[in-house]
A and B are shown apart, each in its own frame.
Chain A
Amino acid sequence: MLIDKSHRVWMIITIVAFALSTFLYVGYSTAMPSGPSGGTWQGLGFGIAGSALMMFAGLLAGRKKLPRLPIGTARFWLKAHIWLGLLSVPLILFHAGFRWGGPLEQVLLFVFAVVIASGIAGVVFQQYLPRVMKESTNREAMFEQLPHVCAALRVTADEQVVATCGSLFPPADDSPREQESLREFYVANVRPFLAAKIDHRAPLLNASRAAAVFSQMQRAAPASSRGTLTRLASICDERRELARQARLHKWLHYWLFVHVPLSMSLLVLAIAHIVASVYY
Chain B
Amino acid sequence: MHKLSVTGLIKSFGTAKVLDNISFNLQTGDILGIFGRNGSGKSTILKVLFGTVKANAITVHLNNKLLKTTHVIPNGVIGYLPQDPFLPNNLKVRNVIPMYFKESDLQDKIFYASGISKITDTKVGSLSMGELRYLELLLVGNLNHPFLMLDEPFSMIEPLYKERIKEFLNELKTTKGIILTDHYYKDVLSISTSNIILKNGNITTANNESALRAEGYLPELP
Do A and B share a complex?
no
